[in-house]
Amino acid sequence: MVNAPAEQKKLPSWWSGGSVVYQIYPASFKDDNGDGYGDLRGIINKLGHIKSLGVDAIWICPHYKSPRVDEGLYVDTDIHEPFGTREDCQELIDAVHAHGMKIMFDLVVNHCSDQHAWFKESRSSKTNPKRDWFYWKPPRMIDGVRHPPNNWRSCFGGSVWEWDEHTQEYYLHYFCPEQPDLNWENPETRQAIYNDAIRYWLDRGVDGFRIDTVNMYSKYLDFPDAKVVAPETLWQPAGDFFSNGPRLQEFLREMRKETFSKYDCFTIGELPNTPSLEKILSYISTDAEALDCTILFDLADLDHRGGQYPLMGRNWALSQFKALTAFAQQLAEPEHKAHALTYLENHDQARSVTRYASDAPEHRLTSSKLLATYLLTLSGSIIIYEGQEIGMINAPKDWDIDTEYLDVNTINTWREIKHDAKVQNDPSLLERGRAGIQLTARDHARTPMQWDGSENAGFSSNPDAKPWYRVMESYAEGLNVAAQEDDPNSTLNFYRQLVSLRKAHKDLFILGRFQLLDPGNDQTMLFTKTALDGSQVAFVALNFSAEKQPFELPIELTARQNQLLISTLGKSSESRELDAYEARVYLA
């Protein structure tokens, strides 16, 4: 059903009490028509599984018509043909609502495809009316040689500027050359975005958006050179210039006023390069009148992005993980008038069991439950990514990066690393780069969903169809939905149990105040969740190590009657010692 916009947004909105959102990457979720490529009808057919998790909403990654250079991160109102039709899309929206859930789409309006009609017009001539819908600059001439306007490195490697031979100018692209950045300074461009990319879908019943790179709309128009921190390369990291430009708040408030505020709509904005609490609140507090909440990157970047190569791994300590969690949980405190959101996996992040715990066969089950306990006891809203609910892990290390990894960021980064290792005659650089990709590449989250133990994990309705991405062999080792469905000890049923527990104790786990204990401990994470009226306290104990670890109840809880609410071992214990990767939650 198409929902007409309300005159004024009614509060509290559907998400404001804290929602669990299930994210779907359409190409890899379920292939219904047997072509080896996931599709919208595959999602429709699996809504019963999603509903069984107890989630409140689903978020569908980009499924818009595009060349799929970066897997559909573009603006369009048509549907990518392998996914289905507009009619299929409307049926999906209606079916999600019929299951009692909400549906969110991706909103990608920092850039569009170089095949989009807007950009084709813009690059046709310097006098075209849409020339100013994008950022065009003449070359910088040095000693008679043409150079890009500045030295910024794009998010996927190389310069942010691409030369256009036809009009003899460069255009700006923060990501791939095939993704030219839209010029938000132009009010005509903004109105076209509001109409074609936002109102179009809200009028068809979509309940909200995950907004891609939302703090990149406003540019620093002088485009200064970035500080040289990697002298061995021409292009320098420029994250501080990519984000939080001078007119960003103005643009976000206008977008909200003209579109989101007229619907019961949930907006989740990506805010990279935004480490300040004050700056975050300037976008997501209710006073800001801009976004509802944010996807932060600090925790997700903890184990990589340590230098020139975005996928190069770096060492981290649990104390850092804990500090970043505590920082983000501040957004749930009532005095900030904001909304917190936590995730461990998404389409841009490798699998959390491999990254933050252990994917060793003897620890996979307990590690997946440990991370589920961490995630689902935090305040605010939560995102669960497809496959996370069965404990999917990274691809095996024997997969060949050159032939099995398909993500554009991986391909570009690996090419850079191989080139630099050869130039510098440094084999260790190559090995460190390989290890970083095996740990943090986006590819690990984009392999097909593992439904059962049949050929290719039951991903396709056609067992003879070759999936677009290689299926991970772990599906044959119990990491599939069918194998876990009736197993009371499975990761799948533990997620269901935790989501139910979370809702049953909403005042603690969704709205409660977070307090980190023993912040310097690098083996265990201990925290309390206290109801805002002080009536109840939950104590969460997590062992992030492969060895047994002692813990103590907080002094203020020792005098109270403590109930073991849940344990990842599935049994009650009076011991004040956690087994390897064990998690417990006590209620006082």
Residues 205 and 60 in one domain: yes
DSSP state letter for 23: E
pLDDT beyond 50 at 445: yes
Distance CA 396, CA 475 (A): 12
The pLDDT confidence band at residue 5, using thresholds 50, 70 and 90, is very low
Report residue 266: phi and psi, to 5°: -105, 125
Mapped to the 3 state alphabet, what secondary structure does 107-155 carry? ECCCECCCCCHHHHHHCCCCCCCCHHHECEECCEEECCEEECCCCEECC
Alpha-carbon gap, residue 356 to 268, rounded angstroms = 24
SS3 state at 467: coil
CA dist., res. 582 & res. 365, Å (int)? 10
**What are the Cα distances from residue 276, in Å, to 250, 280, 289, 299?**
19, 6, 18, 14
Residue 407 in domain:
no
Nearest residue to 310 (alpha-carbon basis) of 435, 449, 156: 156
* pLDDT attached to residue 122: 98
| Structure tokens belonging to residue 32 | 């219904």
Asked if 359 and 352 count as a contact pair (C-beta separation under 8 A), the reply is no
Domain end (from 147, 172, 197): 172
Place of tokens 């969110």: 104
Statement to judge: residues 197 and 48 lie in one domain: yes
Write out pLDDT tens, residues 265-299. 999 999 999 989 999 999 999 999 999 999 999 99
Alpha-carbon Rg for the chain, nearest whole angstrom, is 24
Which of 163-177, 302-316, 446-460 has the lowest average pLDDT? 302-316
Residue 8: pLDDT over 60: no
**Whether residue 244 is found in the same domain as residue 153:** no
pLDDT score for 557: 80
Would you state the structure tokens that stand for residue 333, as one six-digit string? Answer: 């405190």
Cα angle: 296, vertex 302, 306; to 5 degrees: 115
Sheet of 513-517, strands arranged across:
513-517, 524-530, 537-543, 583-587, 563-567
Is the domain of 340 the same as that of 458?
yes
pLDDT for residue 4 is more than 50: no
Show Cβ contacts of residue 219 under 8 Å, excluding neighbours closer than 6 positions: 135, 172, 181, 184, 185, 245
If you average pLDDT over every residue of the chain, what do you get? 93
Would 495 be classed as within a structural domain? no
For residue 296, CA distances in Å to 96, 238, 331, 362, 549 come to 27, 18, 11, 32, 30
Say yes or no: 157 and 300 in one domain.
no
CATH number at residue 147: 3.90.400.10
Domain match, 75 and 192 both: yes
Question: How far is Cα 203 from Cα 80, in angstroms, rounded to an integer?
Answer: 20
Separation of alpha carbons 169 and 122, rounded Å: 12
Range in 207-216, 350-359, 415-424, 513-522 with the lowest mean pLDDT: 415-424
247 and 373 both lie in a single domain? yes
Q: What are the distances in angstroms from CA 321 to CA 43, 324, 330, 521, 530? A: 34, 5, 15, 11, 21
- Give yes or no for residue 242 having a pLDDT over 60: yes
The verdict on 363 and 458 lying in the same domain is: yes
Look up the CATH number of the domain holding residue 348: 3.20.20.80
φ, ψ of residue 26 in degrees (nearest 5): -55, -40
Q: Is the peptide bond before 12 cis (omega within 30 degrees of 0)?
A: yes
Phi, psi of 171 (to 5 degrees): -115, 155
Please give the Cα distance from 84 to 78 (Å, whole number): 10
Domain co-membership, 72 together with 199: yes
Long-range (24+ apart) CB contacts under 8 A made by 508-513 are 508/536, 508/537, 508/538, 508/587, 509/376, 509/377, 509/378, 509/379, 509/538, 510/17, 510/18, 510/379, 510/380, 511/17, 511/18, 511/332, 511/379, 512/379, 512/538, 513/332, 513/333, 513/379
**Same domain for 478 and 549?**
no
Q: Is 419 exposed, middle or buried (0-12, 13-18, 19+ CB in 10 A)?
A: exposed
Question: What is the CATH number for 520?
Answer: 2.60.40.1180
Catalytic, out of 106, 169, 212, 416: 212
Range of the domain at 328: 20-112+187-393+445-485
Nearest CA to 529 among 538, 521, 520? 538
Residues 554-571 have pLDDT tens digits of: 887 876 778 899 999 987
DSSP notation for 75-102: --SSBPGGG--HHHHHHHHHHHHHTT-E
Q: Any catalytic annotation for residue 270? A: yes
Q: Is 231 part of a structural domain of the chain? A: yes
Scored b (16 or more CB within 10 A) or e, 51-63 reads ebbbbbbbbbbbb
Note whether residue 418 is domain-resident: no
Query: What three-state secondary structure class fits 416?
Result: helix
Query: Predicted confidence band at 421 (pLDDT cuts at 50, 70, 90)?
Result: very high
Catalytic: 298? Answer: no
Q: For 77-119, write each residue's pLDDT tens digit.
A: 688 899 999 999 999 999 999 999 999 999 999 999 898 999 9
DSSP 535: S
Total domain count, the chain: 3
Alpha helix ranges (H) inside 224-357: 239-242, 248-258, 277-284, 318-329, 352-356
Residue 413 lies in a domain: no
Please tell me which residue in 181, 270, 348, 407 is annotated as part of the active site.
Answer: 270
Q: Are 498 and 508 in contact (CB under 8 A)?
A: no
Residue 300 burial (CB count, 10 A): 22
Please check whether residue 8 lies inside any domain of the structure: no
Residues 168 and 307 in one domain: no
- Closest by CA to 508, choosing from 528, 526, 531, 527, is 531
Residue 92 is assigned to a structural domain of this protein: yes
Instruction: Give me the residue label for tokens 């003449």.
Output: 138
Q: Does residue 431 belong to any structural domain of this protein?
A: no
pTM of the model: 0.94
User: Does residue 471 share a domain with residue 354?
Assistant: yes
